[in-house]
Amino acid sequence: MNVCVIGTGYVGLVTGVCLAHMGHDVICVDNNATKVALMQSGKSPIYEPGLDELMQSSMAAGRLRFTTDLKAGVEHGDVLFIAVGTPPLPTGESDTRYVEAVARGIGAHLTGDYKVIVNKSTVPIGSGNWVRQIVLDAIASQDTTHVDRDTLAQSFEVVSNPEFLREGSAVYDTFNPDRIVLGGSSQRAIATMQRLYAPLIRRQFSEKQSLPAIPVVVTDLASAEMIKYAANAFLATKISFINEVANICDRVGADVTQVAQGIGLDSRIGDKFLQAGIGWGGSCFPKDVAALIHTARDYGYEAPLLNAAVQTNQHQRLLALEKLQQMLKILKGKTIGLLGLTFKPNTDDLRDAPALDLIRELVRLGAKVKAYDPIVQPGSHAAQDERLAQVDLATTPMQLAQGCDALVLVTDWVQFQTLDYAAMAAVMRQRIVLDGRNALAPEAIVQAGFAYMGIGYSVDRPTVWGINVQPAKATVAALPAEQVA
Ligand SMILES: NC(=O)C1=CN([C@@H]2O[C@H](COP(=O)(O)OP(=O)(O)OC[C@H]3O[C@@H](n4cnc5c(N)ncnc54)[C@H](O)[C@@H]3O)[C@@H](O)[C@H]2O)C=CC1
Ligand SMILES: O=C(O)[C@H]1O[C@H](OP(=O)(O)OP(=O)(O)OC[C@H]2O[C@@H](n3ccc(=O)[nH]c3=O)[C@H](O)[C@@H]2O)[C@H](O)[C@@H](O)[C@@H]1O
């Protein structure tokens, strides 16, 4: 099928590239000419594992093109994806002006051929009908000579198809979704979307063909829009829940990693998104939870649980500061080294990253901040972020450790598990590791000469220099057969 994806951020680019890999003929449109030129040269503007390779192979096969020309994209696509950003306004409300501009642009360029317009962006509940109205308004003011306006008005339908990919594993997630959600009232539009996703649903192009088909959930427009917000709000609340449990663990003498393992094996709870740490961030959880709270408020409902999840997260994002103060007392004049800056590993995305809150507060309290991130390297695009202006960016972990009073693991990049911590300890002023993601092997860190502290360990646990040491993980063993009977 012919597809047009408008907006080539994380979602738009990954969607376009994956649809082209499935065999569709895809044009990606973006109004950022610099970005388009980069993509036309076969380079992805974002760091996302596996994306460059797929992008280049689909371009070589002639199934993937990039342009700034919206008209060309609209004329080409049987399916038109709107995948532009919906960032938060200061009120928490979602800023839908980019969606509005694209919808207007689509309406101005419709040709009379049948098109399905797909809201892929995360948009407030009710946006499906709103987009439809904007397109109709644009048709009404279209200067058309070849097709009458009634024909144009009948020539499109709007579907909601929310996206659930995670940054850092976006390509994998797109090819292996837990479900596909399609919201809309037109059978023709839903059938078109099912045809588009047929190779994915039946896993026809992957080695996983033996797995069952991917479930497709067909709903009305508003429910599909709500599914997206409810999914993100639930996941964010789940993390806030385990973080709250971690904070209680800290006080009562339990180990949150063992607790997470113990509750996660209950299939009603599940073991995912139970990693306690210094809080959730990124481009979506904070903005989508805020937007859902805002929507609820518009309807006179306070959404107390969601507000509490946000509040717990705000506290959690500064927990590292509290713990550093416990250990170092006065932070003024101390040097703190951050391991990781991005909001999660395998991305170069700094949007609403917990590291930024920590940097702001450390600087405010007079500490010197150094940081090492495998992707946010000096000179890189991400490093230009003005919120890093007061951070001394190191090019190696050793350079980071030099002269530090403490290291804080902020992002759980896998390579941080195997750094030469003994060598790093040797060049530090004080040897403290605060593991903000419970990602390191505490015994190894202690052996390397550090005092170790995680998130969710009790003050009553065995301590090294008065700081808690994480015990071994809980073991899970099957009962002997005779005991089962
Ligand atoms: N980033 C993520 O992992 C996920 C994001 N989402 C949702 O998907 C949507 C897009 O998010 P991201 O990809 O992160 O956004 P982004 O901000 O990274 O990218 C948006 C792109 O749209 C382009 N754009 C803006 N206005 C345009 C216009 N009028 N015409 C053409 N292009 C235009 C921008 O130049 C930019 O390249 C948001 O609603 C977000 O909530 C949903 C799931 C995952
Ligand atoms: O709407 C979106 O944009 C996306 O938001 C999240 O994906 P993403 O933000 O890429 O990353 P996650 O893996 O969900 O992590 C979000 C934050 O939660 C934190 N987190 C995650 C899991 C966990 O157990 N503990 C925890 O603190 C991460 O460190 C990160 O800061 C959702 O997981 C995706 O399904 C959704 O499509």
Please check the confidence at residue 401 and state whether its pLDDT lies above 60: yes
450 within domain boundaries: yes
pLDDT digits (tens, 9 = 90+) for 277-313: 999 999 999 999 999 999 999 999 999 999 999 999 9
Distance CA 109, CA 70 (A): 8
225 within domain boundaries: no
188 & 322 share domain: no
ipTM for the predicted complex comes to 0.98
Mutation test residue for ligand 2: of 173, 239, 259, 435, the one with most atoms within 8 Å of CB:
239
* Confidence tier at 80 by pLDDT (50, 70, 90): very high
70 & 193 share domain: yes
Which ligand 2 atom sits nearest the alpha carbon of residue 279?
Answer: 27
195 within domain boundaries: yes
Select from 218, 236, 264 the last residue of a domain: 218
436 vs 149, more confident? 436
214 & 322 share domain: no
Residue 132 Cα to ligand 2 midpoint, Å, equals: 31
Main-chain dihedrals φ then ψ at residue 312, nearest 5 degrees: -60, -40
265 within domain boundaries: no
**CATH code for the domain in which residue 354 is found:** 3.40.50.720
- The residue-averaged pLDDT of 103-114 equals 96
Select from 218, 237, 260 the last residue of a domain: 218
Q: Is 311 exposed, middle or buried (0-12, 13-18, 19+ CB in 10 A)?
A: exposed
CA 312 to chain CA centroid, nearest Å: 19
Please check the confidence at residue 40 and state whether its pLDDT lies above 80: yes
- The residue-averaged pLDDT of 199-221 equals 87
Please check the confidence at residue 485 and state whether its pLDDT lies above 50: no
Please check the confidence at residue 397 and state whether its pLDDT lies above 60: yes
Q: Does residue 30's CB lie within 6 angstroms of at least one atom of ligand 1?
A: yes
373 vs 468, more confident? 373
201 within domain boundaries: yes
- The residue-averaged pLDDT of 11-33 equals 98
Which ligand 1 atom sits nearest the alpha carbon of residue 32?
Answer: 35
Of 190, 268, 182, the closest CA to residue 228 belongs to: 182
Q: Does residue 36's CB lie within 6 angstroms of at least one atom of ligand 1?
A: no
Q: What was the pLDDT predicted at 462?
A: 46
Please check the confidence at residue 477 and state whether its pLDDT lies above 90: no
Please check the confidence at residue 470 and state whether its pLDDT lies above 80: no
Residue 11 Cα to ligand 1 midpoint, Å, equals: 6
Q: What was the pLDDT predicted at 243?
A: 98
* Confidence tier at 29 by pLDDT (50, 70, 90): very high
- The residue-averaged pLDDT of 381-410 equals 96
Domain of residue 213, residue span: 2-218
184 within domain boundaries: yes
Mutation test residue for ligand 1: of 4, 84, 180, the one with most atoms within 8 Å of CB:
84
Select from 218, 250, 284 the last residue of a domain: 218
Give catalytic residue positions: 284
pLDDT digits (tens, 9 = 90+) for 326-353: 999 999 999 999 999 999 999 999 999 9
* Confidence tier at 272 by pLDDT (50, 70, 90): very high
206 & 322 share domain: no
Which ligand 1 atom sits nearest the alpha carbon of residue 162?
Answer: 42
Q: Does residue 343's CB lie within 6 angstroms of at least one atom of ligand 2?
A: yes
Calculate the alpha carbon distances from 187 to 10, 184, 201, 218 in Å. Answer: 29, 8, 18, 10
Percentage of the chain beyond pLDDT 90 is: 88
Task: Provide the number of structural domains found in the chain.
Answer: 2
263 within domain boundaries: no
Please check the confidence at residue 193 and state whether its pLDDT lies above 50: yes
- The residue-averaged pLDDT of 238-256 equals 95
pLDDT digits (tens, 9 = 90+) for 163-188: 999 999 999 999 999 999 999 999 99
Distance CA 244, CA 251 (A): 11
The Cα angle at residue 158 between residues 152 and 160, in degrees rounded to 5 = 165
Query: Residue whose CA is closest, atom 4 of ligand 1?
Result: 11
Residue 157 Cα to ligand 1 midpoint, Å, equals: 21
328 & 446 share domain: yes
50 & 188 share domain: yes
- The residue-averaged pLDDT of 188-214 equals 89
75 & 192 share domain: yes
Residue 7 Cα to ligand 1 midpoint, Å, equals: 6
Residue 281 Cα to ligand 2 midpoint, Å, equals: 7
Q: Does residue 470's CB lie within 6 angstroms of at least one atom of ligand 2?
A: no
164 & 53 share domain: yes
> Which residues are CB-neighbours of 304 under 8 A, at least 6 positions away?
none
196 & 75 share domain: yes
Q: What was the pLDDT predicted at 163?
A: 98
31 & 177 share domain: yes
pTM: 0.94
* Confidence tier at 482 by pLDDT (50, 70, 90): low
Please check the confidence at residue 459 and state whether its pLDDT lies above 50: no
pLDDT digits (tens, 9 = 90+) for 250-268: 999 899 999 999 999 999 9
Q: Does residue 238's CB lie within 6 angstroms of at least one atom of ligand 2?
A: no
Please report how the helices 319-328 and 354-364 are oriented relative to each other, as an axis angle in degrees rounded to 10. 40
Distance CA 265, CA 474 (A): 12
420 within domain boundaries: yes
Calculate the alpha carbon distances from 429 to 323, 403, 408, 410 in Å. Answer: 18, 5, 14, 20
What is the residue-averaged pLDDT of the chain? 93
Which ligand 1 atom sits nearest the alpha carbon of residue 102?
Answer: 29
Q: Does residue 93's CB lie within 6 angstroms of at least one atom of ligand 1?
A: no
Of 347, 350, 337, 445, the closest CA to residue 394 belongs to: 337
Please check the confidence at residue 458 and state whether its pLDDT lies above 70: no
Residue 76 Cα to ligand 2 midpoint, Å, equals: 34
